[in-house]
Structure 1
Amino acid sequence: MKSESVPEIKKRQDKGNNANESALSELLSIMRTLRDPTNGCDWDKQQTFASIAPYTIEEAYEVADAIDKGDMADIRDELGDLLFQVVFYAQMGQEQHAFAFDDIARGISAKLRRRHPHIFADENGQVTRAKKGQWESIKAQERIAAGKTEDKSILANVPAGMSPLLRAQKLQQKCAKFGFDWPELAPVLDKLQEEINEVMAEVNAPTPDQSAIEDEIGDVLFSVVNLARHVKVDAQTALRRASNKFEQRFRQVELIAQQQGQTIRDTSLDELEVFWQQAKALSK
């Protein structure tokens, strides 16, 4: 195979870059058209940052689901949907004279360079040796430079808007870095059992308090996340896989019932358990 010269490689890279720029320009143009006050899409024109936010979260989960399934074409399509969310925000930001897509791109590029001084040289051509805790230290410096009030808690910057499961995991990880953690698995399991017992105590109380039951259920879930973390399992991934597995098996139960000339609604619980066991056997 003939090796490429440096000019040939550069030419091929430039061609690819130009194609990427063209694709992005087209996407940005489409977004402008959709938001056009006169000829745009009625739905797109009505959207705001707040109204789009839930869709952004949904798209991120769909990316994760596609990755879990390992379907590269699906991953590509879902990443496109997620990119469109960024383009949507950029267009709304531009309309408000706040920021544009290029500002977003330049901002994240600059941030990545600042936070990786051990990789990228500074204006003096110097590369800093990597240090433990460097990432958090640089983030703190950025907040001060931006004039933001410094939150000195070790739990600072864990967004309240995260999914509850992920937020629980992040809070625990932050505390663990500073030694607030059990060094062994046994007390983690004991704590989980203790929280389960407290749920049952509330459920079996003479006059059950729904709010108290909810609190105790929350403690159980938090303890389960802690257990997952201690055995090096991502709680979100584990729950997503469990939900997918349940869905697949229940769909199989529906199919088995249909083959028996029945529907889920007219099938007894005992029969459904039999079908469930059959579905489990088929999935192995």
Structure 2
Amino acid sequence: MSTAITVVGLGSGGEDQLTLGILKRLQKASRIYVRTLDHPVCKDLENLHLSLNSFDYIYEAKSSFPEVYDSIANELIQLAKQGTAGEEIVYAVPGHPMVAEATVGLLKERCADQGIPLSILGGESFLDEAFIRLGFDPIEGFQLLDAGVIDRELLQPKLHTVIGQVYDVFTASDVKLSLMEVYPDDTKIIVGHALGIEGQEVIQEVELYELDRVEGYGNLSLIYIPKSDNEQLTRRTFGRLHEIVEILRSPEGCPWDREQTHASIRKNLIEETYEVLETIDDDDPDHMKEELGDLLLQIMLHAQMEEELGTFDVYDVIQGLNDKLIFRHPHVFGDNKAEDAGEALANWEAMKAEEKKLKGQAKEGISILDGVPRDLPALMKAYKLQKKASKVGFDWDQVEDVFVKVEEELGELKEAIKLNYAAEEQMLELGDVLFATANISRFIGADPEEALAATNRKFTRRFKYIESRLAEQGKTIEDSTLEEMEACWQEAKQELKDY
């Protein structure tokens, strides 16, 4: 059996922060190892004639903190294995062993795997001094973050936030940049050095943009952002959006929003989608940002209606989407490979089929054409139906065959018009022509909806050019002849340089 390892906390400062129980344990220990001598209490312990073995040499030999912590944990494991059963190695760390102490986490994993007895004794952490010296009660809402892994998703302005492990000005600079994604540049920030240590403590208030201009960052430094109810700080959060929509639909909210149903705002969802598409076509990022917000509002309203019924809420929607994205991308989140977009799409389709199996959706009774939304625009739907049918071989071999079909359908349309068929029959013949024409798109690698949209835009530009040119001549479109309009049209084709 190996020698036992006991981890003790040295507190946040000098001997006044060291508990009596830990001191007695240290005085009885035959071997004491400290993570670093760069801690105020170490000198006090040496004055008590305690022999401390430090791992500072590992800091000098390694290039990153993770490497340092890994090496320290491995060194302690080896010392324990070489020891004698019944003996004890005391490993002393700054503050509390379970607060921002990576080596202890590694020891918990590795000692359990290798049968080495491990016990952990507490100690005053730097948080104890932070609560006192910075003057806030953590029960009001509090979070502790590591300066090395901070990002916008972790920041919650409604909570008191303490950021530890701010070892140097470079780390402080990284923290500043992360905080600026949520907080205004002039937000008041507290920087604390050596809290509670007489003669060393420094507490300084600065504006956020000055955070990396503060001097004195080191092992005993932290950053504190007081909690705030300033609504401006939550305007960029999804939680606030959910809250606003919930208020709008509440009895105290907006009368119009309260009255809406899925059916009453159904058309809004379609309209907002097309407005987003327009910004994409116009390559207008600023307008796109606004229209995407309008589209998101429609999603939020539909989800809120279901939340009120207890069916699901928007967070269920998000979870379902996350699950789907992970499941359908095994080449990203799993062991599958995809060297190009084609292989990625094949993985996607395979996982869609697997999803149906897992949901108990047997192939019997399911059409190849299932999955195409009923209310898609007709041209887009024709394209998707044809694409699905082609996957099982129901298709022409070459585009020339499609041209023959288009000419055949066009002939039938001409005949229906010439012989004055009923309006409904003429309409159906026109639909056959459009449906056959949509087939060409797959053979030339074009989306028919995008192709027609491009032509619509081209027609609009040219027609507006006609109106503008006629206006320059003192004429309106209404009092111009077809020949005059045609002349301007030909001019537009040359001037606008579109196809």
Structure 1 residue aligned with 2:151, among 12, 35, 53?
A: 12
The residue that corresponds to 2:431 in the other structure is 218
The residue identity in structure 2 corresponding to 1:59 is E
- Measure, in 2, the Cα distance between the counterparts of 1:191 and 1:228: 14
Q: CA RMSD in A?
A: 2.8
Query: Which residue of the partner structure matches residue 416 of structure 2?
Result: 202
Change over 3 Å in CA distance of 1:117–1:267 after alignment to 2: same
Task: Tell me: higher relative CO, structure 1 or 2? Use CA pairs within 8 A at least 6 residues apart.
Answer: 2
Question: Do structure 1's residue 169 and structure 2's residue 400 form an aligned pair?
Answer: no
Q: Which amino acid aligns with 1:12?
A: D
Alignment of 1:1-284 (within 5 A): 8=147, 10-13=149-152, 14-15=154-155, 19=182, 22-40=236-254, 42-121=255-334, 127=335, 135-143=348-356, 145-146=358-359, 151-205=365-419, 207-284=420-497
Q: Deviations over 1:84-116 (max 9, x none)?
A: 111111111111211111111011111222223
With over 3 angstroms needed to count, the CA separation of the structure-2 counterparts of 1:133 and 1:255, relative to structure 1, is: closer
d(CA) in 2 for partners of 1:102, 1:21:
18
Which residue number in structure 2 is paired with residue 124 of structure 1? Answer: none
Aligned counterparts of 1:149 and 1:178: Cα–Cα separation in 2: 18
Secondary structure at 1:233's aligned position in 2? Answer: coil
Relative to structure 1, the CA distance from residue 273 to residue 92 in structure 2 (aligned partners, 3 Å threshold; closer, same or farther) is same
Distance (whole Å) between structure 1 residues aligned to residue 370 and residue 151 of structure 2: 45
CA drift of 1:208 comes to: 2.5
- Greater helix content: 1
Structure 1 or 2: more strand by fraction:
2
The Cα shift of 1:134 comes to 5.2
Query: How does the TM-score come out when normalised to structure 1?
Result: 0.85
- The letter for the 1-side match of 2:256 is W
Q: 1:149 to 1:44 in 2, by over 3 A?
A: farther
Q: TM-score, normalised by structure 2?
A: 0.50
Letter of the aligned partner of 1:184 in structure 2?
Q
Q: CA deviation at 1:76?
A: 1.9
2:169 matched residue in structure 1:
none
The 3-state SS of whatever aligns with 2:237 is: helix
2:103: which partner in 1? none
Provide Cα deviations, 1:8-60, integer angstroms capped at 9, x if missing partner: 562135446995995212222221232223331x3322221122222212222
Quick one: which amino acid aligns to residue 93 of structure 1?
E
How much does 1:140 deviate?
4.3
In structure 2, how many angstroms separate the alpha carbons of the residues matched to 1:251 and 1:37? 48
Amino acid of the structure 1 residue aligned with 2:149: K
Deviations 1:57-95 (A, max 9, x none): 222222222122222222222222221111111111111
Structure 2 stretches lacking a partner, 5+ long: 1-63, 67-145, 156-177, 183-233
Q: Any idea what the Cα deviations from partners look like across 1:254-277, whole Å, max 9, x if unmatched? A: 111222222112112222212222
1:101-156 Cα shifts (integer Å, max 9, x gaps):
111101111122222334334xxxxx356799654454345445546675432112
Verify the 8 A CA contact 2:372 2:384 in the aligned structure 1: yes
Work out whether residues 331 and 347 of structure 2, in 8 Å CA contact, stay in contact via their aligned partners in 1: no
Change (3 A) 1:202 1:169: same
Q: 1:118 and 1:107 mapped to 2: Cα distance?
A: 19
Q: Distance in 2 between matches of 1:9 and 1:236?
A: 48
* Matching residue of 2:135: none
State the number of aligned residues. 274
Secondary structure, counterpart of 1:264 in structure 2: coil
Residues 416, 426 of structure 2: 8 Å contact kept: yes
The amino acid of 2:266's aligned partner reads: A
Equivalent position amino acid for 2:352 in 1: K
- Cα distance change, pair 103–244 in 1 and its aligned pair in 2 (3 A): same
In structure 1, the gaps of 5 or more residues are 122-126
Q: Distance between the aligned counterparts of 1:225 and 1:154, measured in 2?
A: 19
The change in CA–CA distance for 1:183 and 1:66 in structure 2 (over 3 A counts) is same
